[in-house]
Amino acid sequence: MRGSLRRATPVAWALVLAVLLLGGALGPGYALSYDMVWVPDLAISRDVLGLGTAQPRALPSDAVVAALDEVVGGSLLQKLVLLGMLVGAGCGFAALVGERSLGARLVAVTVGMWNPYVAERLLLGHWPLLIGYAVLPWLVVALRGGGDPARLPRRVLPLLVLGSLSASAGLMTALVALSVAGRRPRRHTVLLLAGLLGANAPWVVAGMSTPASSSSDPVGAVVFATADEGLMSGPVAALSFGGVWNADVVPGSRLGIAGLVLTFILVSAAAAGIVRVRRGTHVPHLGALAVCWTVGWGSAVLSWAAPEALGWLGEHFPGGGLVRDGSRLLGLAVPLVVVLVAVAVDGVLERLPDSASRVVVAGVLALVPLTLMPDAIWGMQGRLVAVDYPDAYVDARRAVARAPAGDALSLPFESYRTPAWNGDRRVLDPLGRYLGRDTVVNDVLIVSGRSVAGEDPRAAVVRRALEAGGARERSAALRAAGISVVVAESIVGYPDVDLVGEQVVDGDLSVTVLGPAAAPSAPTGRTAAMALAWAAWLAVLLATLAALVRGRRGPVEARGGATGVIADDGEPVDDAAGIVTQRPTDW
């Protein structure tokens, strides 16, 4: 009974925190916020497969969603993904400090989940990045086992696939995997590198072969740089995993004394943990975690101190734009801090005279982040809410499906919108994913009044076509660019665009058919390269499934008569969260 409670408590606490963080996003409909755009049925299109003309920023996550929503509807799938990634993150941080007391593990769950990085990236809609973040502690646990050093633990491959659903997530996953793995036999290293290459192949190959510009506007590194928060400079805010560039998603509590206090507590607790480590407390792979912290925090500080240098890097070196969002890699800093805080918490609890006092103190410590950042509760105080798409979207999708050959165009030609039906909340143009056909959207970003140039050459062609003199010339230029149907949403503040064509749907969302058009197709060489990339990704996925099937074992009798499961490293682990059962007293 006691063992079951010990296993279930961190999971239950992670579930509670996940529900509090998501709030209204778990209601009927779709949570649409900034880059988070989910639709009822995402079609498998050129863009989804990485064969479009824009930079592949949603690869392979869009392809995974397009496949899964054929089995589970988009609305339910979104909720399962959001809830699963948050609970998975919490349980992962509990597993990361599995040798610590239950009280310390509960604090680890809170620190790993209830922080600005999670809250802000959730509101920004960076769910593939947060899945990668949730993978990090599990990857450390899987790779630090003491089994056969020449074998790759079975849990590693599925973690690599989950942790590489976007470019930034893949970079974080790769760094953690290589840092923790360290020097291993050649076979182990080769298998790990092969898994990493296969899991990241779609976005790497798509990025290398896309006709979009391989350089990025240097202005992007300036507007996306790590920012100051209230009383804290960017580097100080980053110590508690804050400093995101978008001030609109920063919890208000971060701007006052509460944000400063939370940062001070985290830094002080981590410092206390370091003192205990220096006095003999063992922390596995502390050096690897320190390397990850240095890269995560260091990249945020570099972005704050020298954004122009990062802008130059992105302008002159392919792929340099991956680091323009200064605080995106801050998730790398969390595992080390969580481990050190857990060590410090154990130091406090060990000095208390009885279990009752340890329970009370542990509970208070686990609630500290919530009390100092209370505005993250319930989907950032109602800012993350599920809504239904208007009926006009359904009508538009049907009309587009009947339109002649060619691609679609979404108007107004703006990358982000604040539709009234979404509560005036800012969101990436949903039509690009909703219509079920390759859709040209604007990739120019406006941030704090500054324009960040796009990279998609086709979007630039369409932009020039829209600036053509009259309606007839404009329509002809669009057809020449491969556009056969235009879907225009009526939004206050944006002028209508006159076109010559058959208007098949009228109203708040109008659909105008221009006529058949020849949409550009990907060159044969690029198609072949992407086919090989997807084959490599599928090979890792199939190897993952095979490893999971082979690795299933029945329950065994562990020491002390408890029932457990044998891990890849031969140690007994808890059924619920893969946490090593050799622990100190309960609290």
Distance CA 250, CA 6 (A): 34
Beta carbons within 10 angstroms of residue 496's beta carbon: 10
Query: CA nearest 338: which of 122, 133, 155?
Result: 133
Tokens coding 420: 């009234």
Contacts of 409 (CB under 8 A, 6+ apart): 439, 440, 462, 478, 483, 485, 486, 487
Give the pLDDT of residue 386.
98
Tokens coding 309: 């240098």
Mean pLDDT, the chain, integer? 91
**Helix or strand run (H / E) with residue 312:** helix 307-316
Query: CA nearest 13: which of 120, 86, 116?
Result: 86
Contacts of 247 (CB under 8 A, 6+ apart): 227
* For residue 227, pLDDT beyond 60: yes
75-96 pLDDT, tens digit each: 999 999 999 999 999 999 999 9
Give the pLDDT of residue 579.
39
Give the pLDDT of residue 586.
62
* For residue 24, pLDDT beyond 80: yes
* For residue 148, pLDDT beyond 80: no
* For residue 571, pLDDT beyond 60: no
When pLDDT is averaged across residues 275-300 and rounded to a whole number, the result is: 96
Residue with tokens 């680091």: 323
162-221 pLDDT, tens digit each: 999 999 999 999 999 999 998 778 888 899 999 999 999 999 999 999 888 777 899 999
* For residue 352, pLDDT beyond 90: yes
26-83 pLDDT, tens digit each: 999 999 999 999 999 999 999 999 999 988 889 999 999 999 999 999 999 999 999 9
HEC readout, 32-64? CEECECCCCCCCCCCCCCCCCCCCCCCCCHHHH
Give the pLDDT of residue 184.
78
Would you call 133 helix, strand, or coil by DSSP?
Answer: helix
Quote the strand ranges of 272-346, DSSP E: none
Distance CA 159, CA 452 (A): 34
Phi/psi of residue 23, nearest 5 degrees: 55, -125
The residue length of the chain stands at 587
Q: HSE-up of 17 (CA within 13 Å, CB side)?
A: 32
Contacts of 274 (CB under 8 A, 6+ apart): 340
Distance CA 321, CA 316 (A): 10
CB-based contacts of 278-285 (< 8 A; 24+ apart in sequence): 281/343, 281/346, 283/339, 283/340, 283/343, 284/144, 285/140, 285/144, 285/179, 285/180, 285/182
> 413 falls in which pLDDT band (50, 70, 90)?
very high
104-142 pLDDT, tens digit each: 999 999 999 999 999 999 999 999 999 999 999 999 999
**526 residue type, one letter:** R
> 394 falls in which pLDDT band (50, 70, 90)?
very high
Give the pLDDT of residue 341.
99
* For residue 578, pLDDT beyond 70: no
Query: CA nearest 168: which of 56, 246, 78?
Result: 56
Give the pLDDT of residue 211.
86
CB 123 within 8 A of CB 28: no
Give the sign of the dihedral formed by CA 54, CA 59, CA 63, CA 66. Answer: negative
418-469 pLDDT, tens digit each: 999 999 999 999 999 999 999 999 999 998 889 999 889 999 999 999 998 8
CB 111 within 8 A of CB 337: yes
Query: CA nearest 242: which of 267, 272, 219?
Result: 267
Distances (CA, A) of 174 to 160, 197, 325: 8, 9, 18
